[in-house]
Amino acid sequence: MRVDLGVIGSDSIEIERFCMIAGKLGFSGLSTTIQQDTPVKILGQIEVYRRVDIRGKTTPSVRKQIDKVRKRAVIVSIEIGPIDSTNWAVEDNRIDLLTVNPRGEYTLRATTARMAASSDIALEIQIAPLLQATGLNRSKILKTYRETIAVASQNDMRILLTSGATTPIGLRSPVAITYVGILLGMEKQVSNNAITKFPAEIVQRNLKKLEPDYVNPSVKVLQRRKKL
């Protein structure tokens, strides 16, 4: 099961083209910010998972958004931001991904990475900003990504690689994404896991959480009492 968890499209008309290209590249699913009515939709051979990116620089704002969207999305992410709101967010295991800002406005601290690891929140590296940049800007993004990956690795935080595609032609194959990970300083097996094993595990875990009988990882409702 190969899933690209970072399709950042905005045009619902293009979702079928995203799926067509994703299938040709070897993916069986993708998670997208393109609006859809249900957490999961099947288009052809591709499962499309709803993704919500949390925006907010204050803890109350972040908390309110998580409460609102968690049951309506398969993937919930938040970008690395101010230390207070980011550290609060990574203590909440309803968050799945902590996304790197390619501009490097905010950096991942070791304490934040350790907290995220204990909540099983993964670091997300979107490769589109790197591939689209040129010259000095590309060098800056490369430096930001490498430094962030190093901090995450040193603190046992899982790392995910996603396309970050905003258009269908921005999608990349799992093999291509793996080699970008190697360029960023990841070992080949770790980079391969970042686009194959870890995304699939997160999706499977969260689909279980969306089941009506789910309570927590160790508890499931087997039978409900009939109303009199």
- Whether 227 shows a pLDDT value over 60: the answer reads no
- What's the CATH code, domain 52-161+169-210? 3.20.20.140
Would you place residue 221 in the very low, low, confident or very high pLDDT band (cuts 50, 70, 90)?
low
Question: What are the phi and psi torsion angles at 42 (to 5°)?
Answer: -110, 120
How high is the pLDDT of residue 223?
Answer: 63
What is the pLDDT at residue 158? 98
Confidence check: pLDDT of 35 > 90: no
- pTM of the entire predicted model: 0.90
Distance CA 226, CA 201 (A): 34
Average pLDDT value over all residues in the chain? 92
pLDDT band at 225 (very low <50, low <70, confident <90, very high): low
pLDDT higher than 90, residue 58: no
Is the model's pLDDT at 222 over the cut of 70? no
User: What is the spatial distance between Cα 130 and Cα 113, in angstroms, rounded to a whole number?
Assistant: 22
Question: Percent of the chain having pLDDT more than 70?
Answer: 93
Query: Considering only CA atoms, which of 124, 63, 125 is closest in space to residue 89?
Result: 63
Per-domain boundaries in the chain? 52-161+169-210
